[in-house]
């Protein structure tokens, strides 16, 4: 068993809870209320700066040109396709500019952003990969639940978010990222434990972020 699958198994409770979260259920069947989708997208968009920086750090710290080029390609796609989705949804949901760029951040949002920036500050390739892998792999897992594209929700605001995380290119990227993570598994116990802790915390925060999406939107 590779390092990635070992760590996922260690966080199976949080991982499975996130992948099968009620928020995901509603997104996949198209019943997610606009209020909850809006809250989710506004909060999620605040990760884009740190996530882009993480991809940039991966480019800088990758051990070879082929690996750097993979991250560079993903960075370009993230800056175009995913950002376009956010802006289109913000326009459809009438999200004002101030809320797009400087909203009040929920606790889960602050904690996840802090984790990404902490990994970024280490300049440790394995730690950067740990955060990236959780974010991409877990999203790929929940999006895979959508099954046949002909059965996806009709509304683009739901279907496009699924498509961005469930397509051949994305699946290839996640597989490559998992293999890359396995290849740089630390040999020193102290470093290995540190990377494992980052991975587990990222999984915990993914679940917490979905929890907060439903509870915060309900309160507001």
- What pLDDT, on a 0 to 100 scale, did the predictor assign at position 199? 99
- What pLDDT, on a 0 to 100 scale, did the predictor assign at position 216? 72
- In 3D space, the residue among 106, 55, 129 whose CA is nearest the CA of residue 210 turns out to be 106
Expressed as residue numbers, the domain containing 49 is: 3-219
Per residue in 193-212, pLDDT (tens digit) is: 999 999 999 999 999 999 99
Query: What's the whole-number mean pLDDT along residues 61-90?
Result: 94
Count of CB atoms situated within 10 Å of the CB of 9:
10
- In 3D space, the residue among 23, 2, 6 whose CA is nearest the CA of residue 206 turns out to be 23
H helix runs in the chain, sequence order: 3-10, 12-19, 22-29, 34-45, 48-61, 65-77, 83-92, 97-101, 107-122, 125-144, 156-164, 168-183, 189-219
* Residue found by looking up tokens 């459809």 in the block: 92
Please report which confidence band the pLDDT of residue 185 belongs to, taking 50, 70 and 90 as the band edges: very high
Please report which confidence band the pLDDT of residue 218 belongs to, taking 50, 70 and 90 as the band edges: low
- What pLDDT, on a 0 to 100 scale, did the predictor assign at position 182? 98
Is the overall model pTM greater than 0.85, yes or no? yes
d(CA 155, CA 30): 7
Answer whether residue 219 shows pLDDT above 90: no
CB 135 within 8 A of CB 19: no
Please report which confidence band the pLDDT of residue 78 belongs to, taking 50, 70 and 90 as the band edges: confident
CB 203 within 8 A of CB 15: yes
Please report which confidence band the pLDDT of residue 169 belongs to, taking 50, 70 and 90 as the band edges: very high
Per residue in 93-121, pLDDT (tens digit) is: 999 999 999 999 999 999 999 999 999 99
Please report which confidence band the pLDDT of residue 81 belongs to, taking 50, 70 and 90 as the band edges: confident
Give how many domains the chain has, as a whole number: 1
Answer whether residue 10 shows pLDDT above 80: yes
Please report which confidence band the pLDDT of residue 217 belongs to, taking 50, 70 and 90 as the band edges: low
Helix axes 189-219, 125-144, angle to 10 degrees: 40
CATH of the domain at 72: 1.20.910.10
Residue 13, SS3? helix
- Taking CA atoms, 51 is separated from 93, 178, 210, in Å, by 24, 17, 18
């Amino acid at each position: 068993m590779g390092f990635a699958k070992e760590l996922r198994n260690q966080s199976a409770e949080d991982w499975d809870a996130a992948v099968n979260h009620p928020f995901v259920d509603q997104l996949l069947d198209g019943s997610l209320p606009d209020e909850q989708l809006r809250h989710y997208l506004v909060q999620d968009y605040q990760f884009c700066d740190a996530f882009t920086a993480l991809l940039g750090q991966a480019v800088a710290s990758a051990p070879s040109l082929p690996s750097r080029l993979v991250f560079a390609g993903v960075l370009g796609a993230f800056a175009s396709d995913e950002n376009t989705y956010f802006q289109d949804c913000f326009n459809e949901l009438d999200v004002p500019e101030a809320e797009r760029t400087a909203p009040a951040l929920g606790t889960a949002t602050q904690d996840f952003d802090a984790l990404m920036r902490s990994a970024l500050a280490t300049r440790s390739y394995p730690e950067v990969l740990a955060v990236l892998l959780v974010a991409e792999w877990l999203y790929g897992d929940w999006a895979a639940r959508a099954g046949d594209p002909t059965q996806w929700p009709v509304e683009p605001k739901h279907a496009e978010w699924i498509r961005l995380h469930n397509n051949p290119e994305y699946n290839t990227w996640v597989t490559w990222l998992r293999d890359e993570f396995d290849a740089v598994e630390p040999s020193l116990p102290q470093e290995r434990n540190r990377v494992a802790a980052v991975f587990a915390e990222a999984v915990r925060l993914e679940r917490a972020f979905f929890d907060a999406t439903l509870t915060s939107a309900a309160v507001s």
